[in-house]
Amino acid sequence: MIYLAATDPATIEALANLADGGAYPAVRPDVVVAQECVLAPEDVLQAFSAEASPLIARIEAGKNENQTLAALRDALLPRLMSGELRVGEAKEQVEAVA
């Protein structure tokens, strides 16, 4: 619940408006800690966590898979475009990694 509240676009925008600093604006930790967050009763939090945790885990797994695929693309595409590597060879290399 805290993760979702902290990463909500409205929260991020509100904190961005509180950032200070010249060359590298940042939000001081005391400003973040001072932000209010309404919490539901414990039984509601537990029920929410039971439903949301698997979904958040799937989102994170998807992000990791996306990073892996992007790295493979970045490694293979230039070689494919230059003719240094053929599609069949690329497939073998991908399968060897996976």
- Quick one: pLDDT at residue 98? 67
pLDDT digits (tens, 9 = 90+) for 52-84: 999 999 999 999 999 999 998 998 899 888 988
85, 79 in Cβ contact below 8 A? yes
Q: Which of 71, 69, 76 is nearest to 91 (CA)?
A: 76
Q: Where are the domains of the chain?
A: 1-38, 40-98
pLDDT confidence tier of residue 87, bands split at 50, 70 and 90: confident
Nearest residue to 32 (alpha-carbon basis) of 14, 52, 48: 14
Give the integer Cα–Cα distance in Å for 53 and 51.
6
